[in-house]
Structure 1
Amino acid sequence: MRIIRVNDYDEMSKKAASMVASQMILKSDSVLGLATGDTPIGMYKELVKLYNNKEIDFSDVKSFNLDEYYGLSDDNTQSYHYYMMNNLFNKVNIKRENINILSGIAKDIEKECLSYDEKIKNAGGIDIQILGIGVNGHIGFNEPSVNFEAGTHLVNLDKKTIESNSRFFESMEEVPKSALSMGIKTIMQSKVIVLLANGEAKAEAIYKSINGKICPEVPASILQLHNNVNVIVDEAAAKLLKNY
C-alpha cells in the first residue's frame, strides 16, 4: 500500500487526475472504475482540463461506476448517473455505449447486479478503480459488516451514511435507504486502486483502514491485501498517520 500525503484537496485532485491520465495514455482503451460524491469532483475537473488541452482522449475508454441509489431514475438530479454526466461525461468525448452505471430502477435487481459483474469481466477487468471512503470506513456502498466475498449487490445503507448523504437532499426522508454497489470482491479484482480522502472527518477511517486489523467492520481495511493500492490523503485526513 502506497501512502501519498498532499497538502490539500486541490493537490489531491491533481495527483489523482494525473494517475488516471497516465493510465489512459499508456492504454488508450483503459477501463476506468469511477466514484461519486464530493471527494472526486476536483479530480473530474482536472481530467476535463487535461481533455480540453488535448492531453488525454476518452474515445476508446470504458467506464464502470461504483454504485447508484436504489429507486432513483437516471434523470433524477440526485442520481449518480446525473452526477457523472454533469461532472465528466458531457464534457469529454467518451462514447455513450462505453458508459456503464447501475440502474437504480431495474425491475430485476439480482439480474442487474450479475450482469454488471459480467460486463466488467468481458471488458477485461477494471484497470484503475477510484474510491472514496466513508466516515465509517465504507468503500462504494459496502457498509460495516459487509461480506468481503460479495460481488455487485443491493445494500442497505448505514445510519451514518444516510446522515452524511442527507446534505444533498432537501429532507432526511428523501435520502435513499439502499443502493446498488460493486461488492468488495469486484473492487478487489481491479488492477490498480486509488483511494482518495480529504478532511479531518476521514482521519479515523483512514487510520483504521491502513493500520487496523482487516475486518468487515472497517470495509476499507481489506485494501491492505491488494497488491497495488495508492492512498492519496491531505494533511487533515492523514493527521493520525505517524509513520508515513
Structure 2
Amino acid sequence: MKNIAVIMAMDSEAAPLLNKLEINHKIAGKIDEHLPMKVYKTKYHGHNISIVTSGECKRNKVQNVGTAPAVISTLTAIKDFKADFIINAGTAGGFKKRGADIGKVYTVDTTVFHDRRIPIPGYQEYGTYRSEHKIATDYAKALNIETAIISTGDSLDMSPEDEKLIESNLALLKDMEAAAIAWVTDQYSIPTLFLKSVTDIVDGEHPTEEEFFANLKLASENLGEKLIELIEKI
C-alpha cells in the first residue's frame, strides 16, 4: 500500500477523476486555514489517495495555476499526508511538429524550466533545472502511451526567449507546474510520475487561450481515464 498524492492545478482538471472515484466535489478539506488548496481523500486499489487541487485565488477569483501553488501543494502532500508516490496530473500545450494531438495523454520522462534565465555560471543550469524521471518509461508501456519532455513556465504565452529554450530542450509539452513539482520531489527523493493531456497546440493556428478552454473538458476526461488506469498499475 502506498500513500499516493495526485497534485492538480484546476478543479476542472480534477473533476473527471473525482467522478470516477465517486468523490463528492463539495466535501473537500483544506490543507491550511490560510491557504486555498483543497484536498480530497479516499482509498482505491489498496492505496491511500490524496487529491490536491490549487483552489481559487481569493483576490482574483480564478484558479490558482502556476508554480507557486504547485510547490505548496506538493510540499504539503509530502509533509502532512506522508505521500511516498507523487503524481502530477494536468493539462498542457503541445507542439504539433513533435507529434502532439489534442486530447492525447503522455507521461513525462524529463522536466525543465524555460523562464528562469540566469546567465551566471552554475546558476544557468540551476535555472533550467533539468530532471529525468526514469519511471515514466515503464508506466508509459503499461498505459500504452508515449513519453515526452515537458517545459515549465509561469506564462500562458511564449516569448521569443522562452521559445529558444523550449526548442533547445526539444520539449513536446509546455505547462505551468511540472518542473516546479519535480524540484520539490527531488529534494525528498520521492518517485514522481507526470501525466499530461494536451489542450492546445502551441505551434498551431488557433490562439492558445481559445483552444485551451475549447478542449479542456475532452483533455480532462482523457486524463481521468488514464489516471485511474495508472493508479491500478502502481
TM-score (norm 1): 0.29
Give the TM-score of the pair, scaled to structure 2: 0.30
Task: Select the structure that is richer in strand.
Answer: 2
